[in-house]
Chains A and B, each alone.
Chain A
Amino acid sequence: MSFERTQEKLKILADAAKYDVSCASSGSKRSNASKGLGDATGMGICHSYTEDGRCVSLLKILLTNYCIFDCAYCVTRKSNDIKRAAFQVQEVVDLTINFYRRNYIEGLFLSSGIFKSADYTMERLVAVAKKLRLEENFNGYIHLKSIPGASDELMKEAGLYADRLSVNIEIPTKEGLKLLAPEKNREDFIKPMVKVKNEIIQYQSERKIIKSTPKFAPAGQSTQMIIGATGESDQQIMWTSNYFYKKFNLKRVYYSGYIPISYDSRLPQIGTDVPMLRENRLYQTDWLMRFYGFEVHEILNNEHQNLDLDVDPKLGWALRNMEHFPIDVNKADKFMVARIPGLGMKSVYKILQARQFRKLNWDHLKRMGVALNRAKYFLVCDSRDFERRDLTSPQLKSIILQNSTSKYQKILSPQLNLFG
């Protein structure tokens, strides 16, 4: 490996890959049984954080940033005047192994511009994963991008070596895709997803019969949408997301605030702010759907097409549905307790456990570290003392907002620190 050339390529191809937000390396089960290198069991580790506060857990690079397509929202697009580079398969393997051995990373996230054809590109991505697994006996995490339009055979092979596969939908609506990436069609994105989903199901049922069936993409698949490039509503985004979760058993959907990269008149101009707060609200909604038992239409519907920016979506829902409150934390079931604004799932479980020992009062809740500054308006416990004023939603909202200035720091975090 020539150091200077690799260095030059790495700079270009890491730079081009960084807009892809997915950093998750958790959820895989690949243990190191044969005394090889690495494992990917359980929680992925963030080995570092970028200065913008994102988790660095994978070596995230493009195999090449040459591309035959010209999608308007993408830095790699054909018409963009940038430096181009391409890694050789072995170079990516060496970088991954050497970074991994030094405990820099959990594994590799390999994506690529499309050079020559979808299959030609996909073949090379698969070759990297195959080499890592078979020649280097590498058991760390591998995430490959499925190239839209790649053949079923290649997708199948990819799934044998990768922990996770993803296709980025990028643009939440059909109309938006047509506008910004006219050469692409939605079916090309969906086809590899269907293939991967079916293979996962098939492998899982075979595993029940024969224990030694190889794992097929054990961490499942994910996708990403760009937010704020085409004027779509939050309802359109989250309903699309919900559809993909249900229909393709996706593990994660990522939302990425559009970062202006060109003067294309179809797009927000350079200098426009990245919609970070909106992105955060979308992640919060995503969590409410996946862990808190909310249905998407409870939060976003025709009457309420966009999320509030000043309050988080759980508080927003509560303020619109005051008839469900206050909730008795000593009696209510898990999902109702989880609907109390300000309570994270950790607090919910603490409450459920502790209430088996005694009826909980304010003091207990406080000592357990349950944040009450918002929650107190929405719950009752073993005490005669509770919010008696019959406050209207707007009154309550303004009281809460006055008392929560320090929340802003958390709001800016795109990561998990969601419900405080």
Chain B
Amino acid sequence: MKLAFKLAFKNLIGAGLRTWLNVIVLSFSFVIIIAAKGILVGWDRQAKNDMADWEIGGGQYWHRNYDPYDAFSLSDAHAPVPPEFKEEIANGNMVPVLITQGTIYPGGRMQPVLIKGIHPKQNLLKLPTQNLDTTVGAIPAIIGANMARANKLQTGDYLTIRWRDANGTFDAAEICITQIFTTNVPTVDLAQVWIPIENLQSMAMLPNEATVFTFRDGNLIRRGDTGEWKLMTFETLVSEVEEMIKTKSAGQAIFYSILLILALLAIFDTQVLSIFRRQKEIGTYVALGYTRGQVVGLFTIEGAMNAILAAVVGAIYGIPFLMWFAKKGISLGVSSAEYGFAIAETMYPVYSGSLIVGTTILVLMATTIVSYWPSRKIAKMNPTEALRGKIQ
């Protein structure tokens, strides 16, 4: 076996330019697959991290009537904070959020919004809620940059907000924008206003009530659903992101499969030609004491070794390139606001060990198969005819 590898290596290098052409084309596939998949891995991670940081922590409890896609459900989606959550809220491992519908009037236009009440002292989410802990002449409010841009709002702006309380009665008050924050997570940004939860509770006449609880880590999951509260694990909450990444992956796969197939075709072609042109050599191996099966193995290893050389060559230019790429990132030219998903302006690819190992195995297996396929013919060759080089 060791001899076969040595021999295959020698033959491959001995084939010169043809080998290097195959190897370079195959190495492109290597590097491009890793780069392309790296973007998705990076995106997946960034999206999940951003969601965890800004919105979902380690998971959430939702009021059983809460439906983020149905604003009208909100009037029924709230309940008093259950006693078993009180301790975790007190020690900062859980954050209640109360959500109601409201309307703001920026520049005289009417803009329906979600009013979200959150505790100013929380530090579980990245939301700069400390800016809700100030005294201004109105209710302090923070909004996201996309919300601010869409409504031409700036820090220090005062505006009227209208809402309906628990009895269905309309009321209005003034809010003051104390901070505009930038986030990649549109679901805490677009068409929403964050104010102190105590203000919202008294405005809505829902004292001590909440719609959603976000907790810090997954340890609370053991509790499961409790009373009116439905457990939403981190995995459930990010499943949409996962779905989207999966769709993107499928799209990508079509693109780099074509590249890989072209590279494999070149190797296949070389193998077919080799077996035809190197009949005498094949006969010689048999005469020297190989079985035909061993020669099949030798040629298969030789072809498969293209993948190993490609990995080495790919590493030579690929590692600097991929490192530069990971540092520089790639701008997809879409904002999260347009996209509706957590997506950064610049995406930084992440190359995990499993990505690199997986790609290597994929390319190696594919190369081995296209090398083995034509080599099987050797097993049917008549060695005496091979020695004369007479097989057509």
A and B from one assembly? no
